[in-house]
Structure 1
Amino acid sequence: MKNKLLIIGASGHGKVVADIALKMNKWQSVVFLDDDESIKKQMGLEVIGSSNDVTKYINEYEIFVGIGNNATRQKIHEELEKSGANIPVLIHPNTVLGGQIELGSGTVIMAGAVINCCTKIGKGCIVNTASTIDHDNYIENYVHISPGAHLAGTVHVGQGSWLGIGSAISNNVNITNGCIVGAGSVVVKDITEPGVYIGAPVRRI
């Protein structure tokens, strides 16, 4: 493990990621890269360059992608993997984790989240504030589970999907890749086609 952390992205999501990293008290220093040249510091932490500079720092820093957009996060994460970067998992101290949980590299678990036993979460996922994931879930890579979303037992969420704030997913439901489930929506049966889904129960729009 390297004792320094570099976060790509110094905007809203990146700031929350940095706050979690500081609370973990695992790295001697935390810094950002960001493509907005007007940002020199964020949360008192230095912005030391743009995302194009990342290869300079691979040997010195662990590197985390602090970007909320699923597709952009996936692209950068996969480039980092090819470059041999060390990509950590970030877990806020105020989370509840059950036994036999698997978390992929580059995943962040935010404050107040609950993940129950025997759940597998892939690479580059966001498990956002106060969301809950019950037993035996399988969350594929680069999924964003928004604040206050609730997943019952044995839910499967496909790669790159985004579950909106306050959404609810019934037990034994499968959601395919590349779906957006709107804020406050309720999913009670499988979603088999990519698309945008809203309502209670959800309908495709």
Structure 2
Amino acid sequence: MYLYGASGHGKVIVEIAEELGYGIDGFIDNNAELDSIFDYPVIHQTPASGEVFLSMGNNATRQRIAKAYPQFTYPTLIHPKAIVSKRAKLGEGTVVMAGVTINSEVQIGKQCIINTSATLDHECRIGDFAHISPHVGLAGNVTVGEGTQVGIGACVIQGITIGKWCMIGAGAVVIRDVPDYAVVVGNPGRIIKYNRL
């Protein structure tokens, strides 16, 4: 398996893959100055096919690469120290970091990041290419749209819907639904701008 993206996020992903016993061929990255990470080679050309994990943190970049290379097989990586309900469903290419708790009937799309020690309670729905940052708390029945990032330490009360390609700021407390493309900060969370319309 190759890891596509030799950044800090990739360093975390490679350790999860090692814990899970994957054979790692190396990293793919267009930074010509990189030649190795943790003794794994960094190549600068994309292979024609094979097993690849998208190890970049930027949601839009993961979406672009996944669409450009549909021929790859994208595994789902779950850290051994995560707690994941047997009734949860996770899409291809998603990573679940150490300390995460995912409860019953949570549905997570493809190419998502569920980052360190985040908590997703029952029946949450996470769209493709979303990023749930470290120490985020989602109460039950929360929906997070495609491409949205919920920032570190944010809290979302039960039943809230957050739209697509939103940014929820670090430590925000979300108590109302959030429309597509909104940027939300503060306690209680308030919209300060829109990424695009």
TM-score band, normalised by shorter chain: over 0.9
Aligned match of 1:97 in 79, 84, 95? 84
**Offset at residue 16 of structure 1 (A):** 0.6
Give the match's secondary structure for 2:183. Answer: strand
Q: Please say if 1:31 is aligned against 2:32.
A: no
Structure 1 ranges of 4+ moved more than 2 A: 27-30
Q: Deviations over 1:125-178 (max 9, x none)?
A: 000000010010100100000000010000000000000000001000000111
**1:140 matched to which residue of 2?**
127
Q: Distance in 1 between matches of 2:39 and 2:64?
A: 28
**2:66 matched to which residue of 1?**
77
Query: 1:64, 1:87 within 8 Å by CA — same for their partners in 2?
Result: yes
- The unaligned stretches of length 5 or more in structure 1 are none
**Offset at residue 99 of structure 1 (A):** 2.3
Query: 1:175, 1:191 within 8 Å by CA — same for their partners in 2?
Result: yes
Query: 1:18, 1:30 within 8 Å by CA — same for their partners in 2?
Result: no
Aligned match of 1:43 in 38, 54, 65? 38
**In terms of mean alpha carbon deviation, does 187-196 or 13-22 score higher?**
187-196
Q: Please say if 1:126 is aligned against 2:125.
A: no
TM-score (norm: length of structure 1): 0.91
Aligned residues: 192
TM-score (norm: length of structure 2): 0.94
Same amino acid, percent of matched pairs:
40
**Offset at residue 80 of structure 1 (A):** 1.9
**Offset at residue 28 of structure 1 (A):** 2.7
**1:54 matched to which residue of 2?**
46
**1:204 matched to which residue of 2?**
191
Q: Please say if 1:68 is aligned against 2:64.
A: no
Aligned match of 2:16 in 10, 16, 20? 20
Q: Deviations over 1:67-105 (max 9, x none)?
A: 101001111012222xx2111001111100112111111
Q: Distance in 2 between matches of 1:178 and 1:200?
A: 21
- Letter aligned with residue 54 of structure 1: T
Cα RMSD for the two superposed structures: 1.0
**In terms of mean alpha carbon deviation, does 192-201 or 117-126 score higher?**
192-201
Larger helix fraction of residues: 1
Query: 1:77, 1:106 within 8 Å by CA — same for their partners in 2?
Result: no
**Offset at residue 29 of structure 1 (A):** 3.0
Query: 1:22, 1:30 within 8 Å by CA — same for their partners in 2?
Result: no
